[in-house]
Amino acid sequence: MKILAVAGSNSETSINKLLVSYAASLIENAEVEIVDMNDFEMPIYKHQREVESGVPQEAKNLAEKIDAADILLVSLSEHNGTYSTAFKNVFDWTSRIKDRAVWNKKPMLLMATAPGGRGGLGVLEAAEKRFPLHGGNIIDTFTLPFFNDNFDRENNKISNIEKSSELQEKLNKISAVEIILENSI
């Protein structure tokens, strides 16, 4: 099973990258690739840029990785209640590739975390509403509030027992969806 773990952040110390990497490590027998928005850094979307030069290769690279994956784990950082600029730019460019939907119907666990008590609920809700219009097949969502209290950086895992079992349950659910899809082919 191929998993693409996407951190919707370009921070070198991204907590969403820590979370999505941890989540990916919990899925057994998986081939995991972890990416963040630094892997797809492009000029800010501009109509004239697209007309003159087309969609940059970096956006096509992300699309290829999505197409090659069986499952998507996506964890978004929240800036002012919504997507980080870095993620939104990658999302915008990728949405301009002709004849394909950004998330290509791949089963997705949509996640967010933040240092505060809402755990990135604003960006999660924005994405939950919007992604289905771009081929998003959101099987479930997960937020981790108070990241610094609920994630043990030393041992690289969620320390809150309830949140840890909630995540495992949701990962089991998305893995089961993928197994059903695989068997139906």
Ligand X SMILES: Cc1cc2nc3c(=O)[nH]c(=O)nc-3n(C[C@H](O)[C@H](O)[C@H](O)COP(=O)(O)O)c2cc1C
What is the smallest separation between the CB atom of 169 and ligand X, expressed in angstroms?
A: 23
Task: List phi, psi (to 5°) of 74.
Answer: -125, 120
Contact between 116 and ligand X per CB under 6 A: yes
Cα–Cα distance measured from residue 40 to residue 89, given in angstroms and rounded to the nearest whole number: 9
Q: Which residues contact 4 (CB under 8 A, 6 or more apart)?
A: 33, 35, 65, 66, 68, 69, 71, 72, 73, 106
Contact between 89 and ligand X per CB under 6 A: no
Contact between 38 and ligand X per CB under 6 A: no
Beta pairing class for 157-158 and 151-152:
antiparallel
User: Which stretch in 73-81, 93-101, 130-138, 159-167 sits in contact with ligand X by CB under 6 A?
Assistant: 73-81
User: Which stretch in 20-28, 52-60, 116-124, 161-169 sits in contact with ligand X by CB under 6 A?
Assistant: 116-124
Cα–Cα distance measured from residue 36 to residue 50, given in angstroms and rounded to the nearest whole number: 23
3-state secondary structure of 9: coil
Decide whether 12 or 28 has the Cβ nearer to ligand X.
12
Span 12-31, contacts to ligand X by CB under 6 A: 14-16
75 contacts 111 by C-beta, under 8 angstroms:
yes
What is the smallest separation between the CB atom of 92 and ligand X, expressed in angstroms?
A: 18
Q: What is the DSSP letter of 153?
A: T
Instruction: Report the residue number whose CB is nearest to ligand X.
Output: 77
Contact between 9 and ligand X per CB under 6 A: yes
What is the smallest separation between the CB atom of 42 and ligand X, expressed in angstroms?
A: 18
Q: Which residues in this chain contact ligand X in the complex, by CB under 6 A?
A: 9, 11, 14-16, 77-81, 114-116, 118, 120, 122
